[in-house]
Amino acid sequence: MRKVLLAALVIALMPLSAFSAAEKKRVWIAYKEGGRSVAEAALKNSAAEIHYDMRQRNAVVATLPSKAIENLSRKSKIEFIEDDVKRYPMAEVSPYGIAMVQANLVDDNLAGNRTVCIIDSGYDLNHEDLPTTTVSGTDDPGTGSWATDESGHGTHVAGTIAAVANNNKGVVGVMPNGTVGLHIIKVFGASGWAYSSSLVAALDACEASGANVVSMSLGGSFKSRSEDRAFAAADGRGVLSIAAAGNDGNTRKSYPASYSSVVSVAAIDSNKALADFSQRNDQVELSGPGVAVKSTVPMGTGSDVQTSVAGASYEALAMDGSAQGSASGALVDCGTAEGVCAASQSVCLIERGVISFADKVLNCQAGGGVAAIIYNNEAGALSGTLGGVATTIPSVGVTDTDGAAMLSALGAASSVVVQTGNYSIYDGTSMATPHVSAVAALVWSHHENCDNQAIRNALIATAEDLGDAGRDTSYGYGLVQASDAVNYLSTNGCDGGGGGGGGGGGGPQQCELLPKGASCTSDADCCSNSCKGKRDAKTCK
Catalytic residues: 120, 153, 313
Residue 339 Cα to chain centre, angstroms = 37
Cis previous bond, 95, omega within 30: no
Q: How many Cβ atoms sit within 10 Å of the Cβ of residue 331? A: 23
Phi and psi angles of residue 16, each rounded to the nearest 5 degrees, phi first: -55, -35
157 three-state secondary structure: helix
Is 516 within 8 Å of 484 (Cβ atoms)? Answer: yes
What's the rounded Cα separation, in Å, for the pair 393 and 185? 39
Is 414 within 8 Å of 333 (Cβ atoms)? Answer: no
What's the rounded Cα separation, in Å, for the pair 512 and 494? 17
451 three-state secondary structure: coil
Cis previous bond, 15, omega within 30: no
What's the rounded Cα separation, in Å, for the pair 210 and 212? 7
Q: How many Cβ atoms sit within 10 Å of the Cβ of residue 45? A: 18
DSSP output for 360-380: HHHHHHHTT-SEEEEE-SSSS
What's the rounded Cα separation, in Å, for the pair 264 and 411? 48
Which residues have CB under 8 Å from 401's CB, separation 6+? none
Reported as half-sphere exposure (CB side, CA atoms, 13 A), residue 128 has a value of 15
404 three-state secondary structure: helix
What's the rounded Cα separation, in Å, for the pair 456 and 52? 60
Phi and psi angles of residue 282, each rounded to the nearest 5 degrees, phi first: -75, 0
